[in-house]
Amino acid sequence: MKLSDAKLIATVTCIVLVLHVRGQRSDESYYLFDSAWKSTTVLKDARYFARAKPSGDSCEQWDVYRLNGPLIRIETNKKDENGTAHGRYSWYDRQGYMDSLGNYVNGIVNGDWYYYNDTGGLRYQKRFAMGKLVWEKDFSKDTSHKKYELKEGEKESEFEGGLARWQRYLNKNFRYPEAASKREIQGTVRIWFTVDTDGIVQDSWVAKSVELSLDDEAIRLIRISPKWTPAVKDGRKVKSYKTQPVIFRLQ
């Protein structure tokens, strides 16, 4: 991903869109695009589509997909005349793996930006202060970078009842989306989420996409999760970061 791509992305977002179809919710809108990213009302000409939905009071989240395929990007923009980038952006490769993730503030890159390899591992990180690069690191060359090991007195967050009960929860609440089933679409969606200091699941995000309805179902499973036991570090409850694969296989 190149940061200059944001200009192209903003241009696509600001196209005068003409197709509006009924979504899963009344506050969602859907739009079709052809191979040249021109809006179309002809399904056979469509190669991509976008879903717009509210993100807070003043922004919209745009989920941009290949038709019957994985995410291309997720962007968060202001509801202003220019669709100014404001919030989290993420890009995905052709197989649906997240390629990069970061934030904009009023159209300017800000904070930490992360770049991943095709297995979800962090390969590069940049830190910006309102557009100015202040720090960067290449983790692909960092041979000392190892998985963190818990120390005495530390505890990772855990679903109440442990892993076995978490798996039972997933199995009990899992629904195979009819739209994907009819088209025989299957695969593994991977969701990133956080568990806060009260054990509440927050900020679920697609790390590996397959298709819209499968992605939505995986996100739903995580978002409706009951409370967890929060992580502990230095004797205090802390926020923790989790990854959950959700497998969709037709029998």
If one compares 26 and 250, the residue with the highest pLDDT of the two is 250
**DSSP state at residue 43:** G
Token digits of residue 219: 């996100």
Q: What is the sign of the dihedral through the CA atoms of 196, 189, 58 and 110?
A: positive
Summarize the confidence of residues 96-114 as an average pLDDT.
97
pLDDT at 251: 83
Token digits of residue 83: 């669709």
Lookup result for tokens 């697609």: 206
Whether the predicted model's global pTM rises above the 0.95 cut:
no
Q: Report angle CA 166, 172, 176 to the nearest 5 degrees.
A: 115
In contact, 85 and 77? CB cutoff 8 Å: yes
pLDDT at 99: 96
If one compares 147 and 35, the residue with the highest pLDDT of the two is 35
